[in-house]
């Protein structure tokens, strides 16, 4: 078997017969302005390929029939060697599929020899294959590499070795050149192979020798108007190219790569494409550096990551969260990432997943990441942001389990991750410390002293350990002699530091108080906070959490808050910042339902988005981003609760909102039918909106309105509100119309995308109306609704896109008047 395999690996065309086919033929490799290399086909054919463990083979003779056809320039697929190339590949794919985690090293080596020979034969024969047959060969190569990567345990060895063969034999040069082909099928097939073989070494080769060509192909493929197979390949290539260097990332961004990823994440519903988009943004966050981070902020990446992190697919969620955690670790853009609200999705994801199970859930991370990739994750682990720490620690648990099986845990010491993990494992960040401890156990490392998140319960020894972590161990004797425990630590001020601890250096005191402030924000006060005061302060802003313990020590709880004055907050609670006192008092008024002078609750939220999690979460998250980018203050609950577990704070948020956008996707109101006990949260949100003068704007997508009589009487009026029909391919036009609704600019004659009917006069958006009839226009289904019948009861509607009437083409596709 081994001998036969070596024979297959060595069969190819001789130098003399290739030279006779076309004397003096030259190959030009354009390398993005780096180099221009010319060589005879003869030298290309005689080049050696490097296979697994150094196996090499020179070109050997082929059949006389092939050589005569080559000489006449009329090679056909009937050539025995080319037919064997394709037929044998299909036959050997079965051998590849038989490999498993239990396969022996000999079986893996034999399979590798077969396919290195096949790849070498393709490269040497490439110029002699008719162009119409090349895509078939490329598809075979792509299938082989794809299956090789997916083999448990041995996949990394097989996949990377086959990718090395393509690079060493000139295969990458062929693929790079084909990326500029006018034959779109050839371009796509070449790009598909590239997407499978962009290992670290191959990425470097392409960055030096063909980045422009490959980027061009990626942009063409990632166009969402093309077949979904194209977008998968295009975004897959961009995902890998963002995993090279800062300079490469900058070139990819400059040539439109980042815009392509953002566009695909907005308009494409294909899960695999969105996985590539999410991973691409995570890679760019890790490899891009500060300048490219700024470019990401300019493109509002932090906002567009929200729908990805809100997705139902765990892999899309995870890498979007990783991108967010990496970006927020950069102090220069921390505020912008905070404002997006997407960071609130990180910790809920981590709490719902087990690192070991998640690492085995997808081929994307089943083999683990490279040393270079992991080294770039260490600064995220060292960040002061708890979300960044937690997610980085989670990932190191995954990697520790994978590297443990590969007997390669020493990699973590080489990149400096062990000491960082020990620091996090002993920190009061409950989520991050738990995962860091798990990672250290898998690395067989000693666990450090663990600090509880319950800081008020700390012992003196815990305080000393914390001093060591923050770099103030020199003062440990003074703290020990004063018997400073967690309770006293939380009450320290600068005067005490001077008089009792002897910290005379003003800059040192500022540093210490900064670290103490971070500790107060991270602490868990549940052991002494029985009225959830901590949560109230957290809802105002993270900087307010530091006042939890001073308020509690002054005897304040959530019920007492509404009676406090500014003077009491200053003198009795020690809140010296007057702006913070004002914020607390204003939020107390708003959250206790105290009316303003005209008798109404303050409307400090522009839009509250109500949606059904099972079918409407993606559209709701998309709307949030669109509206926030247009300057609206938007509230969306990111942790929808089951019936019977409703959070009454949400009702208060509805009352504080000027508008409620009711996202109606398939079956959204089914649970409301017969809900006489008000257990359904959409039912309760609609009733709260109706009773608080909150303008309701239904937004429908693939939705069937029930009969009004089927709904509870207290929400029945929602059936008569004007609304917007969502068309996924025309997001901007839909949001523009929605914006006009919110601003009160849209009238009945403006062409509302939805049910907008009235008898006896004009009404403003949000006014209950009787259903009637309007002019009829056709519309396309959204991507999420393709294949379904039009489901809104009133199919009569009119559509304007940017003020222009669209022309309806075949299959209901819109084309706008120029």
pLDDT at 2: 40
pLDDT at 729: 87
| Residues ≥6 apart with Cβ < 8 Å to 316 | 271, 274, 275, 277, 278, 308
Which DSSP string do the residues of 280-346 spell out, in sequence order?
A: HHHHHHHHSHHHHHHHHHHTTHHHHHHHHHTSSSHHHHHHHHHHHHHHHTSTTTHHHHHHT-GGGGH
Maximum Cα–Cα distance across the chain: 101
Distance CA 113, CA 6 (A): 7
Closest CA to 723 of 659, 777, 806, 776: 659
| Paired tokens of 672 | 């409301």
Distance CA 447, CA 425 (A): 8
pLDDT at 151: 84
pLDDT at 368: 87
Closest CA to 309 of 277, 272, 279, 346: 346
Using the structure block, give the residue that is written with the tokens 């990441």.
Answer: 369
Q: pLDDT by residue (tens digit) across 463-487?
A: 999 999 899 999 999 999 999 999 9
- Burial code (b: 16+ CB inside 10 Å, e: under 16) for 13-24 equals bbbebbbebbee
Instruction: Give yes or no for residue 611 having a pLDDT over 50.
Output: yes
Q: Quick check: 381 and 399 in contact, CB under 8 A?
A: no
Using the structure block, give the residue that is written with the tokens 């926030």.
Answer: 628
Residue 73 DSSP class: T
Closest CA to 595 of 685, 692, 695: 692
Q: How far is CA 256 from CA 22, 249, 272, 794, in A?
A: 40, 11, 21, 42
Instruction: Give yes or no for residue 285 having a pLDDT over 70.
Output: yes
| Residues ≥6 apart with Cβ < 8 Å to 747 | 762, 764
pLDDT at 90: 55
704: Cα within 13 Å, side-chain hemisphere: 10
pLDDT at 207: 94
* 27 vs 553: which has the higher pLDDT: 553
| Paired tokens of 556 | 């304040």
Distance CA 629, CA 636 (A): 15
Tell me the mean pLDDT in the region 784-805: 38
Catalytic-role residue among 11, 685, 736, 797: 685
* Catalytic residue flag (residue 685): yes
pLDDT band at 443 (very low <50, low <70, confident <90, very high): very high
* 508 vs 642: which has the higher pLDDT: 508
pLDDT band at 133 (very low <50, low <70, confident <90, very high): confident
Q: Is 745 helix (H, G, I), strand (E, B) or coil?
A: coil
Positive or negative torsion for Cα 460, 462, 467, 468:
positive
Q: Which residues pair with 816 in a beta bridge?
A: 806
Tell me the mean pLDDT in the region 156-182: 90
Using the structure block, give the residue that is written with the tokens 């980042």.
Answer: 258
Q: What is the pTM of this model?
A: 0.74
Alpha helices in 482-540 (DSSP H): 486-489, 494-496, 506-522, 533-540
Distance CA 726, CA 703 (A): 10
pLDDT at 760: 32
Tell me the mean pLDDT in the region 167-193: 92
Q: Is 751 left (phi over 0), alpha (psi -120 to 50) or beta?
A: left
Distance CA 27, CA 559 (A): 81
CA angle 440, 443, 449 (to 5 degrees): 25
Tell me the mean pLDDT in the region 551-567: 88
* 136 vs 278: which has the higher pLDDT: 278
pLDDT band at 67 (very low <50, low <70, confident <90, very high): very low
Cα 669 vs. chain centroid, distance in angstroms? 30
Distance CA 339, CA 398 (A): 30
Phi, psi torsion values for 597, nearest 5 degrees = -65, -30
Count CB-CB contacts under 10 A for residue 233. 29
pLDDT at 92: 55
| Residues ≥6 apart with Cβ < 8 Å to 487 | 456, 458
Q: Is 815 helix (H, G, I), strand (E, B) or coil?
A: strand
pLDDT at 810: 36
Could you tell me what percent of the chain has a pLDDT over 70?
77
Could you tell me what percent of the chain has a pLDDT over 90?
48
Residue length of the chain: 818
Count CB-CB contacts under 10 A for residue 307. 24
* 458 vs 815: which has the higher pLDDT: 458
pLDDT band at 607 (very low <50, low <70, confident <90, very high): very high
Q: Which run of H or of E encompasses 664?
A: strand 657-664
Q: Is 806 helix (H, G, I), strand (E, B) or coil?
A: strand
pLDDT at 647: 62
pLDDT at 591: 63
pLDDT at 393: 96
Q: Is 761 helix (H, G, I), strand (E, B) or coil?
A: coil
Q: pLDDT by residue (tens digit) across 518-540?
A: 899 888 898 898 888 888 888 88
Instruction: Give yes or no for residue 460 having a pLDDT over 70.
Output: yes
* 800 vs 515: which has the higher pLDDT: 515
Instruction: Give yes or no for residue 544 having a pLDDT over 60.
Output: yes
CA-CA-CA-CA torsion for 285, 286, 290, 294, nearest 10 degrees? -10
377: Cα within 13 Å, side-chain hemisphere: 27
Using the structure block, give the residue that is written with the tokens 């990432």.
Answer: 337
| Paired tokens of 682 | 């959409």
Positive or negative torsion for Cα 216, 217, 220, 224:
negative
Q: Is 607 helix (H, G, I), strand (E, B) or coil?
A: strand
- Burial code (b: 16+ CB inside 10 Å, e: under 16) for 134-153 equals bbebbbbbbbbbbbbbbbeb
Lowest average pLDDT, out of 244-248, 353-357, 675-679, goes to: 675-679
pLDDT band at 266 (very low <50, low <70, confident <90, very high): very high
Tell me the mean pLDDT in the region 65-79: 36
Task: Give pairs for 666-669: CB < 8 Å, separation 24+.
Answer: 666/615, 666/702, 666/703, 666/704, 666/791, 667/612, 667/615, 667/704, 668/611, 668/612, 668/615, 668/616, 668/703, 669/705, 669/706, 669/711
Closest CA to 796 of 763, 751, 736: 751
Q: Is 438 helix (H, G, I), strand (E, B) or coil?
A: helix
| Mean pLDDT over each residue of the chain, to the nearest integer | 79
Q: Quick check: 726 and 783 in contact, CB under 8 A?
A: no
Lowest average pLDDT, out of 441-445, 704-708, 743-747, goes to: 743-747
Tell me the mean pLDDT in the region 626-642: 80
Q: Is 631 left (phi over 0), alpha (psi -120 to 50) or beta?
A: left
Q: Which residues pair with 698 in a beta bridge?
A: 662
Distance CA 600, CA 593 (A): 9
pLDDT at 124: 79
**Quick one: angle between helices 533-540 and 578-591, nearest 10?**
110
Q: Is 698 helix (H, G, I), strand (E, B) or coil?
A: strand
| Paired tokens of 474 | 């020199």
Q: Is 811 helix (H, G, I), strand (E, B) or coil?
A: helix
pLDDT band at 378 (very low <50, low <70, confident <90, very high): very high
Tell me the mean pLDDT in the region 715-725: 90
| Paired tokens of 354 | 């087990």
Tell me the mean pLDDT in the region 376-398: 95
pLDDT at 24: 38
Q: pLDDT by residue (tens digit) across 332-367?
A: 999 999 988 899 899 889 998 999 999 888 777 777
Tell me the mean pLDDT in the region 272-280: 96
Phi, psi torsion values for 635, nearest 5 degrees = -115, 130
Q: Quick check: 248 and 285 in contact, CB under 8 A?
A: no
619: Cα within 13 Å, side-chain hemisphere: 32
- Burial code (b: 16+ CB inside 10 Å, e: under 16) for 436-467 equals bbbbbebbebeebeebbbbbbebebebbbbbb
**Quick one: angle between helices 211-221 and 246-254, nearest 10?**
50
pLDDT at 779: 31
Q: Quick check: 580 and 543 in contact, CB under 8 A?
A: yes
């Amino acid at each position: 078997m081994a001998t036969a395999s070596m024979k297959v690996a060595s069969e190819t065309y001789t130098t003399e017969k290739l030279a006779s086919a076309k004397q003096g033929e030259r190959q030009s490799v354009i390398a993005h302005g780096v180099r221009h290399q010319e060589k005879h086909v003869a030298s290309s054919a005689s080049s050696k390929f490097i296979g697994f463990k150094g196996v090499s083979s020179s070109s050997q003779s082929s059949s006389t029939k092939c050589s005569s056809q080559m000489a006449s320039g009329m090679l056909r697929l009937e050539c025995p060697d080319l037919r064997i190339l394709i037929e044998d590949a299909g036959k050997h794919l079965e051998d590849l599929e038989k490999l498993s985690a239990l396969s022996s090293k000999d079986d893996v080596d034999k399979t590798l020899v077969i396919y290195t020979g096949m790849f070498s034969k393709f490269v040497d024969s490439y110029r002699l294959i008719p162009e119409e047959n090349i895509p078939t060969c490329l598809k075979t190569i792509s299938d082989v590499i794809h299956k090789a990567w997916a083999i448990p345990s041995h996949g990394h060895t097989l996949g990377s070795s086959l990718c090395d063969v393509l690079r060493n034999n000139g295969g990458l040069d062929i693929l790079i050149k084909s990326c500029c082909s006018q034959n779109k099928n050839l371009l796509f097939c070449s790009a598909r192979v590239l997407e499978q073989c962009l290992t670290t070494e191959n990425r470097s080769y392409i960055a030096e020798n063909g980045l422009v060509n490959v980027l061009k192909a990626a942009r063409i493929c990632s166009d969402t108007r093309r077949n979904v197979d194209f977008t998968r390949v295009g975004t897959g290539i961009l995902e890998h190219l963002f995993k090279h260097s800062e300079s490469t990332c900058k070139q990819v961004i400059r040539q439109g790569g980042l815009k392509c990823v953002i566009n695909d994440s907005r308009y494409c519903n294909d899960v695999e494409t969105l996985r590539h988009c999410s991973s691409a943004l995570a890679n760019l966050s890790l490899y891009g550096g500060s300048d490219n981070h700024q470019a990401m902020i300019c493109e509002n990446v932090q906002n567009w990551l929200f729908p990805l992190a809100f997705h139902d697919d765990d892999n899309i969620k995870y890498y979007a969260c990783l991108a967010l955690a990496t970006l927020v670790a950069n102090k220069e853009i921390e505020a912008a990432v905070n404002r997006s609200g997407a960071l609130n999705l990180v910790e809920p994801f981590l709490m719902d997943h087990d690192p070991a199970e998640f690492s085995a859930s997808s081929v994307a991370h089943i083999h683990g990441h490279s040393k270079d990739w992991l080294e770039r994750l260490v600064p995220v682990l060292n960040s002061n942001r708890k979300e960044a720490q937690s997610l980085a620690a989670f990932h190191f648990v995954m990697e520790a389990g994978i590297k443990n099986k590969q007997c390669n845990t020493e990699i973590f010491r080489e990149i400096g991750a062990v000491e960082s993990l020990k620091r996090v494992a002993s920190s009061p960040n409950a989520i991050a410390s738990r995962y860091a401890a798990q990672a250290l156990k898998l690395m067989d490392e000693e666990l450090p002293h663990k600090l509880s998140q319950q800081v008020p319960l700390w012992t003196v020894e815990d305080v000393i350990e914390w001093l060591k972590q923050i770099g103030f161990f020199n003062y440990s004797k003074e703290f020990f002699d004063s018997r400073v425990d967690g309770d006293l630590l939380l009450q320290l001020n600068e005067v005490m530091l001077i008089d009792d601890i002897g910290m005379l250096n003003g800059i040192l005191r500022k540093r210490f108080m900064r670290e103490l402030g971070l500790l107060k924000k991270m602490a868990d006060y549940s052991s002494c906070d029985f009225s959830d005061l901590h949560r109230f302060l957290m809802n105002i802003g993270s900087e307010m959490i530091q006042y939890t313990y001073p308020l509690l020590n002054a005897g304040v709880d959530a019920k007492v808050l509404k009676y406090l004055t500014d003077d009491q907050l200053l003198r009795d609670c020690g809140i010296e910042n007057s702006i913070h006192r004002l914020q607390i008092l204003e939020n107390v008024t708003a959250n206790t339902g105290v009316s303003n002078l005209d008798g109404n609750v303050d409307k400090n939220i522009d839009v509250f988005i109500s949606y059904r999690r099972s079918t409407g979460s993606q559209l709701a998250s998309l709307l949030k981003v669109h509206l926030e980018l247009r300057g609206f203050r938007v509230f969306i609950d990111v942790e929808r609760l089951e019936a019977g577990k409703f959070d009454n704070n949400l009702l208060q948020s509805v009352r504080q909102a000027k508008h409620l956008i009711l996202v109606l996707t398939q079956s959204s109101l089914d649970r409301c039918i017969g809900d006489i006990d008000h257990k359904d949260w959409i039912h309760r949100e609609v009733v709260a909106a109706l009773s608080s003068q909150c303008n309701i704007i239904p937004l429908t997508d693939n939705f069937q309105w029930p009969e009004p009589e089927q709904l509870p009487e207290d929400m029945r009026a929602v059936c008569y509100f004007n609304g917007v029909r969502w068309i996924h391919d025309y997001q901007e036009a839909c949001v523009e119309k929605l914006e006009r609704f919110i601003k009160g600019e849209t009238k009945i004659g403006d062409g509302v995308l939805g049910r907008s009917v009235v008898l006896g006069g004009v009404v403003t958006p949000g006014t209950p109306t009787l259903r009637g009839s309007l002019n009829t226009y056709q519309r396309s289904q959204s991507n999420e609704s393709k294949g379904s019948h039009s489901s809104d009861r009133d199919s009569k509607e009119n559509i304007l896109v940017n003020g222009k009437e669209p022309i309806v083409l075949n299959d209901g596709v819109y084309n706008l008047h120029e």
